Chain A
Amino acid sequence: MQGQAVQIIHAYKQAPWRVQRQWVAAFLLTVIGVAMIAALYLDVTARAAVAGREIQELRFEITTIQRANADLETRLANLTSTAEMERRALELGYRPVKPGELDYIAVSGFVPPEPAILQAAEDNTPHSQTIPAEYTQSLLEWVDERVKSGGSH
């Protein structure tokens, strides 16, 4: 009875349809694996591309804003130039002061404020100009680099 059961199990294991199904399953698993890696790669690459494009746009925006800043600063300087300020002051009825018309008061401990330009801004320069390769390399580039370097660091 036991020998018969063993024979049935053996026959079941060696059934042609079962061997074929195993091959199909292995093939499908491979395909699914490859598809998953491809999908992952595509997703990462697509997100990197979108991020890269955003960086490019932000850089362009930075340049545009810097230009606008410089333009506004120059425009402000034009509007507050000595000639312009003198004209506006005279229009408002002011006149140049004479030395005898001034009153002086001693204020102990008073230190005249420095202009804004001399109040040194904090250092906002990026300390590293280069972003590590791990953040910019694609999977294929990484594989290529590893192959070329023989797997060493």
Chain B
Amino acid sequence: MRQMYAVRSLFVMIGLVFAGLAVIVQMIRIQNSEQAKIFISQGDRYSGEFATIYPERGEIYDRGGHLLAGNRTVYEVGVSLPDMTDPEKLASVLGTYLGLSYDEVYNKLTDSPESWQYVVIQDYVGAETVSSIQELMRQMEDADDSSLSGLGFKPHFQRSYPENSLASNVLGFVTRDGRGYFGIEEKYNDLLAGNPVQVWVPRDPNKAAEIPKVPNGTTLVLTLNRDLQAKVETILDQALMNYGAENGAIIVMDPRNGEILAMATTPRLNLNNYTDYFTLYDNGSQYNRAIGMAYEAGSVVKVLTMAAALDTGTVTPGTTYIDTGSIVVGGINIQNWNRDSWGQQDMIGCLQHSLNVCLAWVATQMGPQTFYGYMERFGLGHPTGIDLAGEAMGRLKVPGDSDWYNVDLGTNAFGQGVTVTPLQMMMAVSAIANDGRMVTPHVLYSMLRDGHQYNVPSQYAGSPISAETARTLNEMLAISLEQESSLALLPGYRLVGKTGTAQIPTDFGYDSTHTNVSFIGWGPADDPQFMIYVWLQKPSASIWSSETAAPVFAQVAEETVIMLNIPPDVVRNQLAITP
């Protein structure tokens, strides 16, 4: 009996072993079959998902640490169609909260292709609206009402500009596709945007740690002074109103290092509503007139002509010229702005009374080669290289160009027939305020990335004139401004400056009724710390720069000395000798 059980047990054991072996063999076979590879790859496909991680776009600050461009959370509101139970209720709620029509939402929910799992109802929905909807969802869930099931919110960042239109011409804007347009946003788009990373995000919690950390975009600190920028914009807007000008631009720069402290233009765009761009501007050059629009600046160019003449020794401050009211250059008669003759004048008088005839004579004494050589060295006809998108480079005709005539030597000497941007003029004239060294204007002060700070060094664009020439001309211009009893003067401060009134060229010659008025000035005269350029287009109250742009310069200078803590000259000199 016992032996029989043993035999039976042996058979059962052998059977079980065979069955077990068969299972194992089958397992191995299945695991290594061709079909298994397909199943494994299918399984892998669902073990995670590819996700593109977009870094947070870098912020933009002014030099005082005030946020000019940041990010805020907005939501994509969508519905998971398999989880949706009540499209009518969803359409009603979302239509009400998102400002959409019931039919629009209902059609999206019910007319979607069958293969769709998820449908987006609206993107870029504000946090307040989403909070209200989420509160309603909570209340409905508490009441066991699941008619909003399937509704979901995906957060993401949107560019936000807390100052709205302030410095909009400098900042530029970012569209919904994340691309920067104009200004800093375009120029430094790659740095600000950072590097998106595509990663495989595993659903397996064991592998969660493998998700890489994506560093944010680079944060930029600008040279702009937010408060000065706001003041300058206010002054510009008032000037347009007071003088009936169409548009304008004002730049404030530190002539020692090229840092742009303020750059105001009109019209300005509320960057949070960048779609208004098309209603405000006809073309891109209008977005930032200070760098994008070249014009004939008129008599401010006389500063460069005189600088060249002094530097070559063609004239000295005491050189006299008898102004008869006209001069013939290249067979064309050139006259003064008031068509009068001013008699004997020294070079300070020529600048003080802004005599076209005198400066045309000075240019002819230098000759075209010398004159245009200096204008090239001053950077006319070339972009300044400022770190803003959309810079124009103006036009300087030179001998040999098909449209250059001999008369151009005379007219170019007083700013006619040569086009420049306001910034180009500032860069050129910075040589006079900075002991002959010309600065490259820039807007970026510093970059911050991964906890590191990179300060942007100042760059110099050559020395077109000697330091001695610069100091001589600086003094000549200061004297001429004082003697003119100009509206550009600021009590307590000795300033340097030059007016510029220019007729506007048209297809039929120069417009006799409208002008572009400009003023370039800097101070304090003995230690220039700021340089201001004012440009008003077609002022109707007066066509003269001395009556329009000059007082605007004084207003800006007044605000600038306060903002930059520059004491009046007497106080500054006392402080300088205080041990």
Contacts and interface: CB of A to CB of B under 8 A. Distances in A.
A48 B160 CA distance: 41
Nearest to A130: B210
B316 interface: no
Interface string A60-78: 0000001110110110111
Interface in B156-172: 157, 160, 162-164, 166
A52 B561 contact: no
A73 B166 CA distance: 18
Interface string A104-136: 101000000001111011111110011100011
Given A52-B204, A81-B166, 17 more contacts: A49-B205, A49-B206, A52-B207, A53-B205, A70-B56, A73-B70, A81-B162, A82-B166, A83-B164, A104-B565, A115-B63, A115-B65, A117-B448, A118-B65, A124-B451, A125-B213, A138-B206
Given A80-B66, A82-B226, A117-B448, A125 B215 contact: yes
Contact of A52 (B73, B155, B206, B565): B206
B65 A116 contact: yes
Interface in B563-579: 565, 567-568, 571-572, 575, 578
Interface string A94-112: 0001111010101000000
Nearest to A56: B208
A71 B73 contact: yes
Given A73-B70, A129-B213, A66 B206 contact: no
Contact of B157 (A70, A76, A129, A130): A70
B196 interface: no
A122 B221 CA distance: 18
A130 B209 CA distance: 8
Interface of B: 56, 59, 61, 63-67, 70-73, 127, 155, 157, 160, 162-164, 166, 204-213, 215, 219, 221, 226-227, 230, 446, 448, 450-453, 490-492, 558, 561-562, 565, 567-568, 571-572, 575, 578
A124 to B, nearest CB: 6
Interface string A34-70: 0000000000010011111101100100000011101
B551 to A, nearest CB: 16
Contacts of A67: 73, 155, 157
Query: Top 5 A-B pairs ranked by shortest CB distance?
Result: A115-B65, A52-B205, A77-B162, A77-B67, A120-B453
20 contacts: A51-B205, A70-B73, A71-B73, A74-B70, A74-B160, A77-B67, A77-B163, A82-B226, A82-B227, A98-B558, A99-B562, A102-B562, A117-B219, A117-B221, A118-B446, A120-B452, A124-B451, A131-B209, A136-B206, A136-B210
A77 B451 CA distance: 21
A74 B207 contact: no
A13 B171 CA distance: 95
Contacts of B65: 115-118
Nearest to A68: B73
Contacts of B71: 70, 74
A83 B204 CA distance: 51
Given A66-B56, A136-B207, A129 B212 contact: yes
A97 B578 CA distance: 26
Nearest to A86: B230
Nearest to B202: A52
B568 A99 contact: yes
Nearest to B163: A81
A104 B575 contact: yes
A131 B166 CA distance: 46
Contacts of A116: 65
A77 B66 contact: yes
Contacts of B164: 81, 83
B562 A74 contact: no
B162 A117 contact: no
Nearest to A82: B230
Contacts of B160: 74
A122 B450 CA distance: 9
Given A99-B492, A117-B219, A118-B221, A59 B571 contact: no
A67 B54 CA distance: 13
A70 B211 CA distance: 22
A115 B561 contact: no
Contacts of A76: 67
Contacts of B56: 66, 70
A83 B161 CA distance: 13
Contacts of A115: 61, 63-65
